[in-house]
Structure formats: C-alpha cells, structure tokens
Amino acid sequence: MISVQKLSYVYSPKTPFTTQALFDVNMRIEDGDFFGIIGSTGAGKSTLVSHFNALTRVQKNSGTVIVDDMDLSAKKPDLNRLRAKVGMVFQYPEHQLFDDTVEKDVRFGPKNLGASADEQRALAKQAIELVGLDYGAVAERSPFELSGGQKRRVALAGVIAMKPQILILDEPTAGLDPVGKREIMELIVRIKAVCPTVVMISHNMDEIASYCNRIAVMSRGRVIGVFTPRELFGSRELLADCDVKLPLVTEIAARLCDGGAEIAHDILTEDELLDAIEKAVKHA
C-alpha cells in the first residue's frame, strides 16, 4: 500500500529558479492494484513516483508518503528495507546495465541488499527465467551484446531479483517495436503474479486502458483524480477536463455510438468492440 497525503515538491527552493513540481497530491495505491499514472510531459509523474522509494525525499512540511508501515517523511527511513520492497524501473532501463555478464548484473541488487552468494545466484536465476530469457544461454554473456528487447528484460530482471512487493515502471515500452511492446506488457502481467502491486507511468492510452484497474490523471503537478478505466474513458466531460486522449478503440466505439449504432461508448478492448459491432450488425 502506498498512501500519499498532501504531498508538495519544489525544485531549487529559495532561488529565483524555484519551480513547484507537485501541489498537494493525495492518492492511495492498494495492494494488488495495477495502477496507471497518466499526464502530459512535465505533469509531475516522475517526481511523484520517485518519492515512493525515497529517491526524492519528502521536503519539510510538504506532506507525507507512507509505504506499508514505513513513513518516508520520517528523518531516516530504512532505505535498504524500502528499496527491497519497492522496485523502480526507469525509462530505458537498459541504459543502467554495467557488469560484464548478465548474471552478475542481475545479482547487483540482491548483493547490495546483503544477500549471500548462494542466495544471489538463486535470485538471479529466478529473475532471469521470470523475464523469459534462457538462463543457460544468456547468464554468462555480456549484457551489451544482447538485442534491445533482451537488454530491457535483463534490466527488468535486475529489479525483480530484489523481490519487490511493489513495482514501479516508468514508460516500460518506450522505444520498442509493436511485438516488443506486447511482449513486455505480457511479461509485466506475469511479474504481477509474484509482485502483486504494479504502478505504471505511460503515454500509451491503449496499454493503460487494457491493463490498469485504476488510473490517476495528473496535470501540472496536481492529481486531477483517480478513476477506473471505464469511468475515465467513458465520460467525455471527464476526458475533456483532464485533457486525456481516448484509446483509439474507445474513440472508434464512441464515434460509432454517435453515428447511431447500438454500441457502448466506453469500450476498452478490441474484443469488446468486435463483439459489440457483431451484435449491432446481427441486430440490424
């Protein structure tokens, strides 16, 4: 569980360059959520999530962030315990790979948390297999020789190996081709079986609509609201207020609905839309 209360954040405080990145943010992410955060570039999404594992510290008198039983606005939260609990996957995570073999790179996290050599090996093996790579084939290879999609999986494994209970992903599919995108999303669903809470920042409304159960909409440092996909994408007033673009599937459904077809306007997946069209045609 992550609970954010009245969180504000200011970059370069007390200088002429002060910019406020977050204003009075309140939200609660429950265990088991697949929680989406959307908003245009500069809305404060990354600043917000970087609070969740204390990479950005809560500023004085600027609200609280609580992760399970840990108060991150406390003076000295137990960073080791926190970072084992909250895994963070940044944009283009493959850019952080550094070790000479895949296995060693994946062990880096568990090693930092003080796991024994045997534990490290076991955790690395589990993680590499979980992200869908062949352990025997890649473990001893240099991560720099792998393809783009494989590198991203190794980077993900590096975070998974720490056995987080909450996984935060910043644009996990950025820069991948369609197949790569789908594979990573399927992988995240698989990971969710062992890491029950997933928080995902994304610009891709199709991904957000088909995977998330709750969505926070951010704009200019504020959380405008937290909605279910159907609440958000089904309400035009809400979408207009939040300046959110529809997933293409929903847009087509809405326009068919406008055109007089008996099709719901809040459809979220392709299959739903196909069923609806089929029904409408048969009905006519």
At which residue do the structure tokens 């079986």 appear?
A: 193
- Find out whether 211 and 36 touch, Cβ atoms under 8 Å: yes
Residue closer to other proteins by CB (options 24, 177) is: 177
- Find out whether 88 and 53 touch, Cβ atoms under 8 Å: yes
101 contacts other proteins (rule: CB under 8 A)? no
C-alpha distances in angstroms, 240 versus 205, 234, 245, 246?
Answer: 15, 11, 8, 10
Beta carbon of residue 183, minimum distance to other proteins (angstroms, whole number): 11
| Site residue total, other proteins (CB under 8 A) | 63
Site for other proteins in 152-181 (CB under 8 A): 158-159, 162, 174-180
Is the torsion defined by CA of 90, 94, 100, 103 positive or negative? Answer: positive
Q: Three-state SS for 38?
A: strand
Region from 126-134, 143-151, 219-227, 228-236 binding other proteins, contact rule CB under 8 A: 143-151
- Find out whether 273 and 209 touch, Cβ atoms under 8 Å: no
Beta carbon of residue 244, minimum distance to other proteins (angstroms, whole number): 11
C-alpha distances in angstroms, 216 versus 200, 209, 224?
Answer: 10, 12, 7
Single out the residue of 24, 30, 74, 80 in contact with other proteins (rule: CB under 8 A): 80
Burial of 14 (0-12, 13-18, 19+ CB in 10 A): exposed
238 contacts other proteins (rule: CB under 8 A)? no
Site for other proteins in 244-263 (CB under 8 A): 245, 248-249, 251-252, 255-256, 259-261
226 contacts other proteins (rule: CB under 8 A)? no
Instruction: Quote the tokens at residue 270.
Output: 């392709």
Q: Could you tell me whether strands 34-38 and 86-89 are parallel, antiparallel, or unpaired per DSSP bridges?
A: unpaired
Instruction: Quote the tokens at residue 92.
Output: 């283009």
Residue closer to other proteins by CB (options 81, 222) is: 81
83 contacts other proteins (rule: CB under 8 A)? yes
278 contacts other proteins (rule: CB under 8 A)? yes
220 contacts other proteins (rule: CB under 8 A)? no
Burial 229-263 (b: 16+ CB within 10 A, else e): beebbbeeebbeebebebbebbebbbebbeeeeeb
Beta carbon of residue 76, minimum distance to other proteins (angstroms, whole number): 14
Single out the residue of 34, 90, 227, 233 in contact with other proteins (rule: CB under 8 A): 90
Beta carbon of residue 83, minimum distance to other proteins (angstroms, whole number): 5
Cα separation of the two ends of the chain: 48
193 contacts other proteins (rule: CB under 8 A)? no
Site for other proteins in 12-41 (CB under 8 A): 12, 15-17, 40-41
Residues that bind other proteins (CB under 8 A): 11-12, 15-17, 40-42, 50, 53, 55, 80, 83-84, 87-88, 90, 93, 95-99, 108-109, 112-113, 144-145, 147-149, 158-159, 162, 174-180, 203-205, 245, 248-249, 251-252, 255-256, 259-261, 270, 273-274, 277-278, 280-281, 284
